[in-house]
A and B are shown apart, each in its own frame.
Chain A
Amino acid sequence: AQKITQTQPGMFVQEKEAVTLDCTYDTSDQSYGLFWYKQPSSGEMIFLIYQGSYDEQNATEGRYSLNFQKARKSANLVISASQLGDSAMYFCAMSPYSSASKIIFGSGTRLSIRP
């Protein structure tokens, strides 16, 4: 069985600072995908970044990067130069390739950016 753990229920960060959101996972699969989604107060789920378990380089998408440490089974999200619009819930998620796109989600971290 797969499990995603996010240990930070909430975080406050000053605008323009970088922030790291923690995520650890547990799986017996050899191949899997890791994701981060953002959910603003409006409720929609916004895909941010993806990392494949066999990707050797950390994924980056604009201000988002994924710090992938396979041996430690961690997939932390780093947001550089945070903005007020980054205030939202952030969910780490994982998909076992064996189940195609079925994705399981962590409990989430609520990020609040202070002006």
Chain B
Amino acid sequence: SAVISQKPSRDICQRGTSLTIQCQVDSQVTMMFWYRQQPGQSLTLIATANQGSEATYESGFVIDKFPISRPNLTFSTLTVSNMSPEDSSIYLCSVGTGLNTGELFFGEGSRLTVL
């Protein structure tokens, strides 16, 4: 298994500002993903964070809005840029073990509220 720490755990932000969320894993992992969970909704994949190269974004998500860094195999950041109230969500970092089961481990999430 993997232990994942996310910072901040929660924050209240002003419209138009940007916030960077950090994700630290206690071991080297190949697969790292960022998900968004809007209030009362399911999880939606934002992007796959690739070590040493640009992230791979899912449909509906763009790099200008959600820039992602992955400088090494244990750390990643997600920035939510130029925030609006619609960005109020829980943002979750997850890692895959690469094993056959493909199980994902999740951080505890970062709950953002945009005023």
Contact = CB atoms under 8 A, between A and B. Distances in A.
A72 interface: no
Contact of B109 (A33, A43, A104): A43
Interface core residue of A35, A45, A52, A106 (most chain B CB under 10 Å):
A45
Give the interface SS of chain B, mostly helix, strand, loop or mixed.
strand
A44 B106 contact: yes
A44 B108 contact: yes
Contacts of B101: 33, 50, 52
A108 B40 CA distance: 9
Contacts of A47: 103-105
A109 to B, nearest CB: 11
Contacts, number: 59
A107 B44 CA distance: 10
Interface residues of A, number: 20
Given A35-B102, A101-B31, A103-B45, 12 more contacts: A43-B90, A43-B109, A43-B111, A44-B108, A44-B109, A52-B101, A91-B42, A101-B98, A101-B104, A103-B102, A103-B104, A106-B42
Interface of B: 30-31, 33, 41-45, 48, 90, 92, 94, 96-98, 100-106, 108-109, 111
